[in-house]
Amino acid sequence: MKAAKVMSKSMAIGRAGMMKINALEGILTGEDTKARLAEFDRKGLGPAERRAEIMKAYSREG
């Protein structure tokens, strides 16, 4: 019997796929989060810029 090949390439799921997986696990994406992600897309923000905006939105000031 021949051994099965293991795929070594990585794969990105994407936002829509991740939201579906989260929904199966009972984790729903709020409208505020969807709006924030749409704004990031509209602005063309990269990963580092998105992380900075998220940290700024949820950090305490002062």
When the pLDDT of each residue in the chain is averaged and rounded to a whole number, the result is: 88
- Number of domains, the chain: 1
Residue 38 counted as domain residue: yes
* Exposure b/e, 14-38, CB count within 10 A at least 16 = b: eeeeebeeeeeeeeeeeeeeeeebe
Q: What is the DSSP string of 39-55?
A: HHHHHT--HHHHHHHHH
Predicted confidence band of residue 61 (pLDDT cuts 50, 70, 90): confident
Residue 18 counted as domain residue: no
| Cα 28 → chain centroid | 13
Predicted confidence band of residue 3 (pLDDT cuts 50, 70, 90): low
Which domain does 35 fall in, by range?
Answer: 30-62
